[in-house]
Amino acid sequence: MAITVTQSPNKLNASYTNLVFTVSSNLYNQPQFQYVMDVVSGSTVLSRIRQYPNPAGDAVFDPSNIIQDYLEYQDVDYSQITDIDQLTTDNAVANEQLKIFSVKFGEEYGSSISSSVTLYTGTDAIGNPAVVSSNDPYQIFPAQVDYNDYWQATTGIGYNFFTGSRVESTGESMTFGYNKFLSYQPEKDSSERTNDSMTIAYGDNGFIQIIVNGSLGSDVEIDTTGFRSNGTSIAGDRVVLSGLDFPAMITVPISPIQQGWSLAQFNEIERFRVIVTNNVTLIYDIFNIFKDNEDCNYNRVGIQFINELGAWDYYAFSLPSRQTINVERDNYEKPFVDYSSGVLSQFNPRRGGTTSYNTSTTKVISFTTPYLSQKQAHFVEQIFTSPKIRLLYPEGLNNNDVYSAQPMAVTLRNSSFVRNTNSRGQKLFQFNFDFELSNNPAGR
């Protein structure tokens, strides 16, 4: 065999990292020799890259930038769903966020330095690149790998997305990989309310995502259960998703209305639990969330955002906001005297001088979060680096329920934030967010 893949990424991996492949060939000294890499989706070659051998005779490829262009953050909107059984395979599976790619290698060379070149499969046959690594095909989603993370540097994970269990810097143990919710929400697997527990109000519109890797032909079941403070439970609704192609990224609502709870039922509940199973006995993962007990007259603010794991997440609180309207005007100077008049140039105090020909506005909405624990702050700070954020008022703004049902696309104007620097002395945290609406009125 001419081509050998000596280094390759893990099968389940992030797109926002370096997906490093090292290949070698025993023919690298042939005239005009180049290594060839094809990035393939299905039967379609998305991109073909050629590279001359390095001084060692090998080549190092990184197709991550190519793959990033073919992944999208799916436009999920469950605001009109009022029961979990309204979920279907079509609206629950985020096909654009998790895709399968094959990375194939070959080589091309000529018979002399001036001859035409021939493309080879990498196995001494003429044809398109065909040599793949043992991990191929790859399952890639738009997560981000932090190279400064302790686990990346000390456990041999290297460039790869970490899968398995580990203890975060906050002291909390979390598990990542297949069949685990893609969220840093603290205490999500705990049935006991603590100062770190995240909460949700009845009108909130949040969802989370999970990569399920089931066996061929199996279904996925999503079950909800409510628990009273005395430990008794209320059976919630369930939905079975069939006809899935695994692995599949599934979007799961974590909001009471979207899960089918009535307000009366929600008022009885201390927490509710979401379980994703294989519709038989295998439990993939469990997500617990507690009822927000704050009795506050401020408008509820919800933030839907893409977290560092490349998945939709949700955070909400009840505190006042500040809205700033920035107005920009483009002016020109019009002469006070009307030089285009006929017989007389009439004196007119209503005429020109400085005249606006275009006026545009941008709205900025500013919030300060409640006091957060260290674990909560670790989760919420991901909003600052999120590539996609949506803002909504779950309980309505000025009693306008239509407005509350429509998440608004926003961009974050903050250019920096202060992270915990004193674990012993700093126990509570607050963040300030300045969101600018992505869609502002046209200038006039």
Residue 353's pLDDT is 81
Mean pLDDT of 196-208: 89
- Of the pLDDT bands very low, low, confident and very high (cuts 50, 70, 90), residue 218 is confident
Q: Is residue 34 part of a domain?
A: yes
What CA dihedral angle connects 202, 203, 209 and 212, to 10 degrees?
50
Q: Is there a single domain that holds both residue 281 and residue 245?
A: yes
209 band by pLDDT with thresholds 50, 70 and 90: very high
Is residue 355 included in any domain, yes or no?
A: no
Same domain (yes/no): 30, 113: yes
Residue 290 has pLDDT above 50, yes or no: yes
Asked if residue 168 and residue 135 are part of one domain, the reply reads no
Helix, strand, coil percentages in the chain from 3-state DSSP, rounded to 5:
10, 40, 50
More confident residue, 295 or 207: 207
CA quadruple 383, 387, 392, 394: dihedral positive or negative? negative
User: Is the peptide bond prior to 253 cis by the omega test (within 30 degrees of 0)?
Assistant: no
83 within a domain of the structure (yes/no): no
Output the CA torsion 170→197→381→396 (10° steps).
180
List C-alpha distances in Å: 110 to 49, 107, 131, 133. Answer: 18, 11, 20, 26
Label residue 403 by pLDDT band (50, 70, 90).
very low
Alpha-carbon gap, residue 356 to 350, rounded angstroms: 14
Mean pLDDT within 238-251: 92
Is 350 inside any structural domain?
A: no
Query: Does residue 150 register a pLDDT over 80?
Result: no
Per-residue pLDDT, averaged over 143-170, amounts to 84
pLDDT of 230 higher than 60: yes
Are 132 and 204 within one domain?
no
Backbone φ and ψ of 237, nearest 5°: -90, 170
Q: Verify that 108 and 199 share a domain, yes or no.
A: no
CB 209 within 8 A of CB 182: yes
- Number of CB atoms found within 10 A of residue 179's CB: 19
pLDDT at 402: 43
263 shares a domain with 179: yes
Which residues make Cβ contacts (< 8 Å) with residue 399, sequence separation at least 6?
Answer: none
Q: How far is the C-alpha of 163 from the C-alpha of 169, rounded, in Å?
A: 17
Q: Assess whether pLDDT exceeds 80 at residue 151.
A: no
The answer to whether position 155 is within a domain reads no
89 belongs to a structural domain = no
Question: What percentage of the chain exceeds 70 in pLDDT?
Answer: 94
pLDDT tens digits, residue range 412-432?
A: 988 777 766 555 656 788 899
* Model confidence at 217: pLDDT above 90: no
Identify the pLDDT of residue 340.
80
Per DSSP bridges, beta strands 220-227 and 99-110 are unpaired
Longest Cα pair distance anywhere in the chain, in angstroms? 95
pLDDT for 153 beyond 70? yes
207 and 282 in a single domain? The answer is yes
Average pLDDT, rounded, for the chain? 88
User: How many residues make up the chain in this entry?
Assistant: 444
Query: Which 8-state DSSP code applies to residue 162?
Result: P
Do 182 and 250 lie in one domain? The reply is yes
Residue ending a domain, choose from 86, 110, 141: 141
E-strand stretches of 154-219? 164-167, 173-176, 199-200, 207-212
Residue 282, pLDDT score? 78
Query: What DSSP assignment string belongs to 47-90?
Result: EEEEE---TTS-EEE--HHHHHTT--------TT--SGGG--HH
Q: Please check whether residue 168 is in contact with residue 296, taking contact to mean a CB–CB distance below 8 angstroms.
A: no
pLDDT of res. 107: 97
Q: Are residues 223 and 170 in the same domain?
A: yes
pLDDT in tens, 344-353: 778 777 777 8
Which is more confident, 284 or 47? Answer: 47
pLDDT tens-place string over residues 126-136? 999 999 999 99
Res 425: pLDDT? 57
Q: Per-residue pLDDT averaged across 37-48, rounded?
A: 96
DSSP 302-367: EEEEE-TTSSEEEEEEE--EEEEEEEEEEEEEEPSS-TT-SS-----TTS-EEEEEEEEEEEEEEE
Q: Is residue 291 part of a domain?
A: yes
- Residue 100 CB neighbour total at 10 angstroms: 14
Shared domain for 267 and 129, answered yes or no, is no
The whole-number pLDDT of residue 155 equals: 77
Q: Tell me: do 135 and 170 sit in the same domain.
A: no
Question: By mean pLDDT, which of 98-102, 105-109, 273-277, 399-403 is the weakest?
Answer: 399-403
Number of domains in the chain: 2
Percent residues over pLDDT 90 in the chain: 50
- Return d(Cα 28, Cα 278) in angstroms, integer: 49
Contact by Cβ (8 Å): 169, 175:
no
Q: Which of 110, 141, 172 is the C-terminal boundary of a domain?
A: 141
Residue 257 has what pLDDT?
87
* Residue 251 falls inside a structural domain: yes
Band of pLDDT at residue 110, cut at 50, 70 and 90: very high
Q: What global pTM score does this model have?
A: 0.89
| Domain range enclosing 63 | 3-77+98-141
The pLDDT of 38-47, averaged and rounded, is: 96
pLDDT of amino acid 255: 87
Rounded to the nearest 5°, which phi and psi values hold at 422?
-145, 85
Q: Do 169 and 130 have their domain in common? A: no
CATH number of the structural domain spanning residue 131: 2.60.40
pLDDT-derived band at 180, boundaries 50, 70, 90: very high
Give the Cα separation of 317 and 310 in Å (integer).
Answer: 23
